[in-house]
Amino acid sequence: MNHKVEVTGINTSQLKTLSDTQADELMSRIKAGDRTARNEFITANLRLVLSEVGKFKKRTDNSDDLFQVGCVGLIKAVDNFEQDKNVRFSTYAVPMIAGEIRRYLRESCALKVGRSTKDIAYKALSARDELAKKSGGEPSVSDIAAALDCEPSRVAEALDAISDPLSLYEPVFGQDGDEIYLYDRISDENGETWMDKIALYDAMKHCSAREAKILQIRYYRGKTQTEAAAELGVSQAQISRIEKSALQKLRKYMT
């Protein structure tokens, strides 16, 4: 609980900025056990957290969670900072804030990814940032792989593994209220929509074995009701009745 921080109600746009002298004085008081100085110093440095949260916003829909986690990193930095090392507090704190956020994102990832793959992915992200600073442009996967002495395919696989999963109901195109969703674009080599197949497969689970058999004969093999009746040794009327019941179930569970 030592690292818990409440930020509700804080207007971050009105946070004051500390001069170097003020920061040194507060830090000295913090090391002497002054809790008021500690709270004041943390509040004055919340902009560091906001800056880091902005770099990770695309990775989650909940920036508030990232802010809270980043505050944990900030507090750890305050509690572990050593004034005699001749290092600016921001230089020391930013990596701790970012590290705390990265750890949170790794542990809360919707898809479980192996640790070795995660390690490559986050090394690749760091390498990408460094290369981008040097070149002023977005580095290619090959450039990142070269910096890590790793196969490009391995780097690409690792980066894909930690990417946020997309919803099948994510709109990929929209105009005047007429939207096309991701599931509309997923199909096999014959152009058949996978979502329709999945829906049909799930709906078939609600049919009895006999109903499923008749649907298979009628719609997968293209037989008539008379031919289906002859194959199963029942009347055409029975086939008609069972088929009607099965189709009603499919309509119910596919709509």
Q: Which of 8-17, 116-125, 166-175, 200-209 has the lowest mean pLDDT?
A: 166-175
3-state secondary structure of 22: helix
Q: Rounded to an integer, what distance in angstroms lies between the CA atom of residue 46 and that of residue 71?
A: 7
Could you give the domains of the chain? 12-107 (1.20.120.1810), 115-161 (1.10.10.10), 206-254 (1.10.10.10)
Q: Looking at per-residue confidence, does 102 or 93 come out higher?
A: 93
Beta-carbon contacts of 50 under 8 Å, excluding residues fewer than 6 positions away, are: 12, 67
On average, the pLDDT of the chain sits at: 79
pLDDT of residue 185: 57
The answer to whether 93 and 77 have CB atoms below 8 angstroms apart is yes
Handedness of CA 49, 76, 85, 41 (dihedral sign): positive
Q: What is the pTM of this model?
A: 0.43
pLDDT of residue 54: 80
Q: Rounded to an integer, what distance in angstroms lies between the CA atom of residue 180 and that of residue 188?
A: 18
Q: What is the greatest pairwise CA distance in the chain?
A: 96
Q: What is the CA radius of gyration of the chain?
A: 30
Residue whose C-alpha is closest to residue 195's, from 180, 209, 210, 208 = 180
Q: What is the pLDDT of residues 181-231, one digit of tens each?
A: 555 555 555 555 555 666 677 778 888 999 989 988 988 888 899 999 999
Query: Taking residues 36-56, what's their average pLDDT?
Result: 88
Q: Which of 34-48, 71-85, 199-213 has the lowest mean pLDDT?
A: 199-213
Query: Taking residues 62-66, what's their average pLDDT?
Result: 78
The pLDDT > 90 percentage for the chain reads 24
Run of H or E including 181: strand 178-181
